[in-house]
A and B are shown apart, each in its own frame.
Chain A
Amino acid sequence: MKGLSWLMGWRLLRRELKSGELTVLALALLVAVAAMSSVAFFADRIDSALTRQASQLLAADLVVNSRAPAEPAWQQRAQAQGLQQVATATFPSMVFAREQAVLANLKAVASGYPLRGEVQIRTRQGVKQGVYSPAAGEVWADARLLQKMGLQLGDSVRLGSRSFVLAAEVLREPDGAVDVFNFIPRVLLNHADLAATGLVQDGSRIRYRLLLAGEAAQVKTYRDWLAPQLKPGTRLEDIEEARPEVRSALERARRFLGLTAILSVTLSAAAVALAVRRYLSRHWQSVAVLRALGQTAPEVATVWGSLFLWLGLLAGVLGTLAGFGVQALLVYLARQWLGDGLPPPGWLAWLTGPLSALILLAGFALPPLLALRRVPAMAVLRADVPAGSRSLLAPLLALVALLGLTAWQIGDGPLALWLLSGLGGFLAAVALLAWGIVVLLRRVPLSGAVGWRHGAANLARRPWLAVIQIAALSVSLLALLTLTVVRDDLIGAWQRSLPPDAPDTFLINLQAPQRAQLAQAFAKVGRSAPDALPMTRARLLAINGKPVKAADYEDERAQRLVEREFNLSWRDAANPRNQIVAGQWWQPGSSTPQFSLEEGLANTLRLKQGDTLTFDIAGTTWQAPVTSLRKVAWDSFQPNFFVVAPSGWMGGQAASYIASYRAPDAGFNNRLVAALPNVTVVDISTIVREVRAVIDRLALAIEAMFALTLAAGVLVLWAAMAATRDERLYDVALLRALGASRRQVRNVLLAELAWLGGVAGLMAGGGAMALGALVAVQLFNLPLALNLWLLPLGMLAGGSVVALAAWPLLRRVTHTPPSEVLRAN
């Protein structure tokens, strides 16, 4: 008998899928599974990539990272302890070859590199993998540089004032393996050649790393010895801290995907709940027949239990495949930053999809399924609809389980909770508003056409259903509007914030005597030279005589500012692009010690006009009061400084210079850098282009996930429509029987749907508007702009989506002969 029940479940499933009775349920499960498993796959692959590469990411067990070369005492101690050590130095600089100049990240490595992991290079002899470093007089470059400059192995390449032979292409370097968002080419050279390039100058932005490796215990002893004596600006890196920027970028992506998965799963759960209820309410009579024919209650439960189990497995498998496809698309779109080397997903990730389908069904199908056992055989004689299960416990538990699963995928409990509360808040607000509107519709006597009146009344008659429909629809529409309108708004606003004559080039590392050469270069093309502004690195020591510590601040940015050195400049006259918001700029020629601060910095560090600041600049202490606060437009692409002092006081200090300009012609920057080899030219137009490409690709990846959310939203709507279809069919048949024309009936239905779509669209528009404003202000630092068009646009989109989703139903309802419906009832 058990076998028969299972077989019947399978037979029923096939029939019901064919007849469309289970379509909504199956699709809802499919969407939920696809959303869950795509996140699971993505997260799993990223995780194992990070774990696998963690020990190699540093190319060492411990790294001392500083702005100055490692002190001899550190190296002696390491040697005494039997640790292996290799020094590296990295900095951005221009690379010259084939009469072009390209900005690259240079890394000078001593022999012995890497201490952990292996490099993979392509030389003329073929591909080699192991512990290798460039020989003296040789450089290695990655494919990006080779492509950009059209280089071949054996070509001559110039760095600063020295020429090198391009000996190999770097295929993989341990401490650059997962270089997400890094589109600047890399060049490796021998540490011994560094001095000969002449690139190491005052104010050069060089990062020195001392790579150390050895027995874990020795490394720890060394670490414990060194850590207490490190000065600010020097830090220790170990495997846990390896590549934090990679980790955080991927974590952010994963969280984002998790958020969309949460949305999709929540919406799918609503669709599953609605669909299961409708399905079972249409089938309890079949249960009664089976009971009358002599099936026992457990047997009947097995028939439908197995049907749902089969369905869950089917949706689990298909949805997992779909999820794998979505994830593969994400990886494909992100391949530029992820590389091709992502390991395949583990077996656990394959189970997430089927598991979530079963959890969804257990939570939302099991309670009504168990209620089936209570359907009396007596129901074959008398059409008593048995009371459905009213307990919310099982669905709530299932939802919590699923969201827990998602939170686990995101890997950040508090964030998941925060996201969920946000989502819950939005849904609650929408539901509350929708409820209010529905109640209002019920109370207010509407005049006007029959269609509008009846439509509103229909909506008000099934309030909870209307609320679910509106909430689901508005979440989907919110996703849609955010993706299209708000995104375009933001990118547009960002583009507009760049004036057409904005500088496209930054020049840094310019030395004082080279300013004349810069002026000459501009004079040659008949243009006046841009201002070269002095820049030096300063560290804030004290405020009003009190030593300042990072621990004094809770704000992360403030802590960073206190710990790190920041750029300080001096000038005579006020920068006309800066606006003085407090105090006064000094008199021209003033030599009175004083500082002018950027307003944002002052706020972050809780500084005000009149405070006395003490700075350490290259070992000298400088103390003066703050006499003015300035407002700075950072996105103007002009050099700006947090702290400015009078030239008459600080001028004459060692400094490097910075300038920005719009390149007069295409070859200008190359010629300039050829004349001033140590200078770094940053072509912002490329960066802006690259950044835009990144945004576009990420947006595409995110859209793939939002499409799932949207599909889930439409499904809920569909399920809610289907839930009332029989009732509607009957209503319409009655209306028709009473003499309503097909057109009148259609108008009533259309009006109800228009109300529904309009209300949902209005809320989605409001939500998208708020979200857009929030993102603009919080993330992009753009001025607050409310796009009021979103409201009518949301209503229009809502109406259209609803009409589209409901069209088949509408046709069915208006084309079914009333006699058929009335007879069936």
Chain B
Amino acid sequence: MTSSSVNSAILRAQAVSRQVSYHGQQLAILHDASLAVAAGESVAIVGASGSGKSTLLAILAGLDAASSGEVWLAGQPLSALDEDGRALLRRDQVGFVFQNFQLMPQFTALENVMLPLELAGRADARPAAAAMLQRVGLGHRLDHYPRHLSGGEQQRVALARAFVLRPALLFADEPTGNLDPATGQQIIELLFELNAEAGTALVLVTHDTTLAARCAAVYRLSAGVLARSEA
């Protein structure tokens, strides 16, 4: 790891550990994990169920705090920020795509995509969101509620929501986990297309090694230990 790559890294984790107390015993879920993601780079984190993938993702994205170690997101050390400070950082820098889509059920597709724009105080939220939905092929379903959309369509809305602000960094947690293979394939293609267009760095958590292979770097997580895999 050169010093220049450290400086240009949009995301860097240094010796991150996470313990939880369970019935009075300390369980190590994550042990001394380190990684760096350069701007525009795509990184996959693979591992079996229960290997600690979700915990790592949560700590990297500032959704959860590490027990020890440090994470720098866009150059800012997360431990120095409180929960609300991390929220503001996420608003400005980070997009998310989840396995179970996580759309707001009360809002239409358009309003879901408008949400990050509105949170950022953008005046052109509506046209920008509509254009983004057009881009993911849902221009005809702007006013539909999530419950009226198929799984693939919901994930497209989620992608539009994640990319609409062109974030520096996108976290994708098993984005195809709830989709059939064909639909999943379409979503992945769209994800990488958008990623390339926006120049966004991508952290992709998956147990699908084929999918992981499309990323520039692959990390393997096993029993809480993270190692770079030379695929």
Residues of A near any B CB (own CB < 8 A): 1, 4, 8, 11-12, 15-16, 19, 21, 285-286, 288-298, 376-378, 380-382
For B83, the chain A residues whose CB sits under 8 A away are: 296-297, 377
For B84, the chain A residues whose CB sits under 8 A away are: 296-298
Which 5 pairs between the two chains have the least Cβ-Cβ distance?
A: A294-B91, A296-B84, A294-B90, A377-B63, A15-B106
Say yes or no: A294-B88 contact (C-beta < 8 A), given A4-B119, A376-B63, A380-B98: yes
For B87, the chain A residues whose CB sits under 8 A away are: 291, 294-297, 377
For B64, the chain A residues whose CB sits under 8 A away are: 376-378
A177, chain B: closest CB distance, angstroms: 57
Say yes or no: A381-B98 contact (C-beta < 8 A), given A293-B119, A296-B84: yes
For A298, the chain B residues whose CB sits under 8 A away are: 84
Say yes or no: A296-B88 contact (C-beta < 8 A), given A4-B119, A382-B54: yes
- CB–CB A1/B102 < 8 A: no
For B111, the chain A residues whose CB sits under 8 A away are: 11
Say yes or no: A293-B90 contact (C-beta < 8 A), given A376-B63, A380-B96: yes
Interface size for chain B: under 10, 10 to 19, 20 to 34, or 35 or more residues?
A: 20 to 34
B173 adjacent to chain A (CB < 8 Å): yes
B121 adjacent to chain A (CB < 8 Å): yes
A142, chain B: closest CB distance, angstroms: 63
> How far, in whole Å, are A292 and B102 apart by their CA atoms in the complex?
10
For B90, the chain A residues whose CB sits under 8 A away are: 292-294, 377
Within 8 A of A (CB), among B43-87: 54, 57-58, 61-64, 83-84, 87
- CB–CB B116/A378 < 8 A: no
A437, chain B: closest CB distance, angstroms: 37
For B119, the chain A residues whose CB sits under 8 A away are: 1, 4, 293-295
> How far, in whole Å, are A260 and B64 apart by their CA atoms in the complex?
51
- CB–CB B63/A292 < 8 A: yes
Nearest-CB residue, chain B, relative to A289: B102
For B115, the chain A residues whose CB sits under 8 A away are: 290, 293
> How far, in whole Å, are A382 and B61 apart by their CA atoms in the complex?
14
Of the residues A11, A285, A380, contact of B63 by C-beta under 8 Å: A380
B118 adjacent to chain A (CB < 8 Å): yes
B104 adjacent to chain A (CB < 8 Å): yes
B208 adjacent to chain A (CB < 8 Å): no
- CB–CB B58/A289 < 8 A: no
Q: Quick one: which of B63, B111, B116, B161 has the most chain A CB within 10 A?
A: B63
Nearest-CB residue, chain A, relative to B93: A294
> How far, in whole Å, are A380 and B103 apart by their CA atoms in the complex?
10
> How far, in whole Å, are A307 and B212 apart by their CA atoms in the complex?
43
Residues of B near any A CB (own CB < 8 A): 54, 57-58, 61-64, 83-84, 87-92, 94, 96, 98, 102-107, 111, 115-116, 118-119, 121, 161, 173
B150, chain A: closest CB distance, angstroms: 12
For B173, the chain A residues whose CB sits under 8 A away are: 381
Nearest-CB residue, chain B, relative to A8: B118
Say yes or no: A294-B92 contact (C-beta < 8 A), given A4-B118, A376-B64, A381-B63: yes
For A295, the chain B residues whose CB sits under 8 A away are: 87, 91, 119
Q: List 24 A-B contacts (CB under 8 A).
A: A1-B121, A4-B118, A4-B119, A12-B106, A286-B104, A286-B106, A289-B102, A290-B115, A292-B90, A293-B91, A293-B116, A293-B161, A294-B88, A294-B119, A296-B87, A376-B64, A377-B62, A377-B64, A378-B58, A378-B63, A380-B63, A380-B98, A381-B54, A381-B58
> How far, in whole Å, are A19 and B107 apart by their CA atoms in the complex?
11
For B88, the chain A residues whose CB sits under 8 A away are: 294, 296
Q: Quick one: which of B92, B94, B115 has the most chain A CB within 10 A?
A: B115
Say yes or no: A15-B98 contact (C-beta < 8 A), given A296-B84, A381-B54: no
- CB–CB A16/B63 < 8 A: no
B95, chain A: closest CB distance, angstroms: 9
B50, chain A: closest CB distance, angstroms: 12
For A288, the chain B residues whose CB sits under 8 A away are: 102
For A12, the chain B residues whose CB sits under 8 A away are: 106
> How far, in whole Å, are A377 and B89 apart by their CA atoms in the complex?
13
> How far, in whole Å, are A92 and B119 apart by their CA atoms in the complex?
80
For A297, the chain B residues whose CB sits under 8 A away are: 83-84, 87
> How far, in whole Å, are A613 and B104 apart by their CA atoms in the complex?
87
A373, chain B: closest CB distance, angstroms: 10
For A380, the chain B residues whose CB sits under 8 A away are: 63, 96, 98, 102
- CB–CB A16/B96 < 8 A: no
> How far, in whole Å, are A296 and B86 apart by their CA atoms in the complex?
9
Nearest-CB residue, chain A, relative to B92: A294
For B94, the chain A residues whose CB sits under 8 A away are: 294
Nearest-CB residue, chain A, relative to B88: A294
Q: A1-B119, A293-B115, A381-B173 are in contact. List 6 more A-B contacts (CB 8 A).
A: A294-B89, A294-B90, A376-B63, A377-B62, A377-B64, A382-B58
For B98, the chain A residues whose CB sits under 8 A away are: 380-381
B170, chain A: closest CB distance, angstroms: 12
Q: Quick one: which of B62, B84, B92, B104 has the most chain A CB within 10 A?
A: B104
A241, chain B: closest CB distance, angstroms: 61
> How far, in whole Å, are A751 and B104 apart by their CA atoms in the complex?
37
> How far, in whole Å, are A374 and B196 apart by their CA atoms in the complex?
36
> How far, in whole Å, are A291 and B119 apart by their CA atoms in the complex?
11
> How far, in whole Å, are A1 and B57 apart by their CA atoms in the complex?
28
For B91, the chain A residues whose CB sits under 8 A away are: 293-295
